[in-house]
């Protein structure tokens, strides 16, 4: 049952992080308009199971009036609302308060702020930390989205370079999108045949989908169940048959390793993780699955 819809307000971002699991950058296209958000919310109303709407990206604060308009629409319809941001706007506490000023009256239920060494190499003080402090002072439900260094441990945090290494080898990165191209080479190499399940998404009964301005309804980034500008969300959800989906079917049967076999993709001998293999296999044959392996903004050509 779909209870959360994540509106990818824009693919555009002020940053181009190496660990981004799509390929957002200042040049990325694909931004919602207020009327498109209205149409999408009409569809979530009709679906009848959605409780929470997230506004994320890319960086949603880049299109501040559009985001605010969307949040007001969602609140007026009774949805809980969350935002995911990198907090770039907090060049000072005063500016952070300006950007956050409307939110105490909008009943936000989650303001997630990405604060990690890939977004901000300066660790002691940065825009995300300022945004978090200002939000807390204003009584907003702010939380930090961090990447945890893994086995390498906190001792890796001696420098940004070492902290990045700890995060990459520690299992916090999902190697899809730009992260597959930029960071997979630094991860531990593993035999691709090991990856016999999808470790993160409930492909059989998804509880959330991401929807972009092109209309793509994504079960996982770059794997679509259809397009809301062509068919209503209720129809897409009703007709979604995980076992018969050309990508989710093989993933459910035998994970990314099965997907690679079914797509007749020959992987490199080793890959970084399950998502890396899944992403490489899908990227190798996008043209065979129009409408399913979308959009370009997820399959980086960098």
Nearer to ligand SF4 (CB atom), residue 21 or residue 63: 21
The minimum distance between CB 177 and ligand SF4, in angstroms, equals 9
The minimum distance between CB 300 and ligand SF4, in angstroms, equals 14
Residue 292 has φ and ψ, to the nearest 5°, of -110, -50
The minimum distance between CB 214 and ligand SF4, in angstroms, equals 19
The minimum distance between CB 223 and ligand SF4, in angstroms, equals 6
φ/ψ region of 225 (left if φ > 0, alpha if ψ in -120 to 50, else beta) reads: alpha
Listed residue (78, 71, 61) closest to 37, CA to CA: 71
Nearer to ligand SF4 (CB atom), residue 226 or residue 256: 256
Q: What DSSP assignment string belongs to 31-79? A: B--HHHHHHHHHHHHHH----EEEEESS-GGGGHHHHHHHHHHHHHTT-
Nearer to ligand SF4 (CB atom), residue 31 or residue 216: 216
E-assigned strands of 67-207? 80-85, 110-114, 142-145, 190-191
Three-state secondary-structure class, residue 168: helix
The minimum distance between CB 250 and ligand SF4, in angstroms, equals 10
Nearer to ligand SF4 (CB atom), residue 43 or residue 221: 221
Binding site for ligand SF4 (CB under 6 A): 176, 198, 200-201, 220, 223, 251, 256, 274-275, 278-279
Nearer to ligand SF4 (CB atom), residue 129 or residue 282: 282
- Name the maximum alpha-carbon separation found in the chain: 55
Helix (H) or strand (E) segment spanning residue 219: strand 216-220
């Amino acid at each position: 049952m779909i209870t959360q819809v994540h509106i990818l307000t824009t693919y555009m971002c002020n940053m181009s992080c190496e660990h981004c699991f799509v390929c957002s950058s200042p040049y990325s296209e694909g931004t919602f308009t207020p009327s498109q958000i209205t149409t999408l919310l009409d569809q979530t109303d009709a679906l009848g199971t959605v409780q929470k709407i997230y506004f994320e990206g890319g960086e949603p604060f880049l299109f501040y009036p559009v985001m605010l308009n969307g949040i007001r629409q969602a609140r007026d319809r009774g949805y809980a609302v969350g935002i995911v941001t990198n907090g770039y706007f907090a060049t000072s506490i005063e500016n952070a308060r300006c950007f956050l000023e409307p939110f105490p009256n909008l009943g936000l239920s989650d303001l997630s702020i990405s604060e990690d060494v890939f977004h901000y190499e300066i660790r002691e003080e940065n825009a995300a930390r300022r945004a978090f402090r200002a939000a807390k002072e204003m009584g907003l439900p702010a939380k930090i989205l961090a990447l945890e260094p893994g086995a390498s441990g906190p001792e890796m945090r001696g420098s940004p370079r070492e902290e990045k290494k700890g995060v990459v080898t520690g299992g916090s990165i999902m190697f899809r999108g730009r992260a597959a191209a930029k960071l997979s080479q630094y991860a531990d190499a593993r035999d691709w045949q090991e990856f016999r399940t999808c470790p993160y998404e409930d492909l059989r009964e998804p509880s959330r989908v991401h929807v972009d301005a092109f209309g793509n309804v994504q079960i996982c980034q770059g794997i679509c169940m259809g397009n809301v500008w062509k068919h209503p969300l209720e129809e897409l959800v009703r007709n979604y048959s995980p076992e018969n989906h050309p990508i989710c079917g093989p993933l459910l049967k035998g994970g990314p390793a099965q997907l690679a076999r079914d797509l007749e993709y020959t992987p490199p001998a080793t890959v970084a993780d399950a998502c890396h293999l899944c992403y490489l296999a899908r990227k190798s044959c996008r043209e065979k699955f129009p409408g399913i392996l979308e959009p370009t903004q997820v399959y980086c050509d960098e």
